[in-house]
Amino acid sequence: MRNRRWIVAMVALALTVSACGREVGGDPEPDATDDGAEVEPDGTGDMASGCEVDEVDGDLLFGNWSEYMNPELIDLFEETYDVSVTEDFYTSNEALLAQIRAGGADFDVIVPSDYMVEIMIDEDILLALDHDVIPNMSNIAGEFDDPPYDPGLVYSMPYQWGTTGIGINVAEVGDVTPSWDLLFDPDVAGALPGEISILDDPREGMAAALFWLGYDPNTTDEGELEEAAAAIETARDWTVTYTSDQYAELLLTGETVAGHGYSGGFLDSFFGVDNPEDYDYLIPEEGAVIWTDNMAILADASSVCTAHTFINFILDAENGAELTNWTYYASPNAGSAEFIEEEITTDPTIYPPDDVREKLVFLENTGDAEILFTDLFTGAQG
C-alpha cells in the first residue's frame, strides 16, 4: 500500500490498541452540576458544561472515519494534556448510527456528516456544546458557522469538507469525460479495461446513481430510488467491490481502473506514488455530493471536558491546517488558510471553482426514506 496516510494510521491504531486502558476522572458526571442537578442546554449552543477552557476530565475515545486524522495531532494532544486518545473507525454514517443505537459505540467525540448530524439531533444522541470552552470556533469560516443541519452550531463543529466523485487510472482509461457514466453506463463503464468500485455507503451509493439518472440525490420518490438501485444492480457486472476505505488502494494496485470515493482519499493517495500523472480525481459533470464532516460529542460521553478541549484543539488555526495538509480535504477553518500548503488551496479538485460548486449538492435527512435508501442499496449489492 503506497498511501502514506493509511500506513501511519495503521501504526497509530496498533499503538493505541496496545496502550493502557481508558481512565476516567473522578469528577461528578459531566451532565450534572456539583449538586447533582441536570444541566439543560438553552438551545443556542451555550450549555453550561461546568468545564473550563483546556480542561480535561479523563482519556478520550474518538470515533472517526479511517485515514482521517493526522496521528501527529493525536500525539500532540496527548502530550499537551497528559491524556490518552483511543481512535476507532467506522465505514459509513449509517454504520455509526447503527452502532450507537445498539449501545455499542463507547465514544466521546465522533465525526458524522451533515445530514447525519441532523438525524442524531432528532434522536437526542448528541450533547449540546458549551461554546464558552471552544473559543477557537471563532476561526470557522462564515459559510460554515450556521449550517441548515445544525443552525448556530449548537451540537457540532465543522471538521473538513470535500466532494464525492470518481478516481481513475488515466493510463488505463485515457482522457474521459468526468461523468457518472464511468460507474453506471453499460457502454462506458462496461467497456472499461478493468473493474470499478462503489462506496459502501447507502446515501452516497444511491446519490451517485441518482445523479446519473438526472434525479435529486435527496429524492424520496420510491420509483426514482428503485431506478437508482436497478442501476447499481446492473453495475454489478463490472463492480469488483463496495468499499468506503480501500477505494484508492484498489485503484493504485490495479484491481480497479475507476472508483467511487472521496476527494481527499484519492488525492492524498496519488501524492504518495511515483507516477501521480497516471491518476486523476473527477467531479462528474452531472453534479456530485458536497459534504461537511463535523465533530460532535455523544450525549452519554464519559469525558465531556476532554471532548470539548479536543474539539477546540482541532479548531486551532495551525492544527486545522496540519489536518488539511495531511488529509488533502478542504478546511472549513478560515484561520487555517495562511498555514495550508499552496498546492492544496490552488487545487480545483479540492477547492472547486464556482461553476462546479453550483452543481454540488448536500445530502439531507430524508426522514423515513432513510430506511428505503439503505434497503434498496443493500439489495442492489446482491
pLDDT at 20: 29
Q: Which residues pair with 113 in a beta bridge?
A: 293
pLDDT at 16: 33
Q: Which residues of the chain have pLDDT under 70?
A: 1-48
Query: Are 24 and 53 in a shared domain?
Result: yes
Query: Are 122 and 90 in a shared domain?
Result: yes
| Closest to 259 measured CA to CA, from 378, 166, 150 | 166
pLDDT at 45: 54
pLDDT at 272: 80
pLDDT at 47: 61
What is the pTM for the complete model shown?
0.83
Query: Are 304 and 260 in a shared domain?
Result: no
pLDDT tens across 222-269, in order? 999 999 999 999 999 999 999 999 999 999 999 999 999 999 999 999
Query: Are 33 and 100 in a shared domain?
Result: yes
Domain interval for residue 145: 4-161+292-345
**Alpha-carbon distances, residue 43 vs 131, 282, 295, 381 (angstroms):** 12, 40, 18, 41
**Alpha-carbon distances, residue 33 vs 60, 74, 194 (angstroms):** 21, 30, 60
Q: Are strands 60-65 and 85-90 parallel, antiparallel or unpaired?
A: parallel
Query: Are 67 and 175 in a shared domain?
Result: no
Within its chain, how far is the Cα of 182 from the centroid?
23
Enter the C-alpha cell of residue 114: 451533515
Q: Are strands 279-282 and 360-361 parallel, antiparallel or unpaired?
A: unpaired
Query: Are 51 and 104 in a shared domain?
Result: yes
Query: Are 258 and 357 in a shared domain?
Result: yes
For the domain that residue 247 is a member of, what is the CATH number? 3.40.190.10
Query: Are 311 and 257 in a shared domain?
Result: no
| Closest to 89 measured CA to CA, from 16, 1, 163, 157 | 16
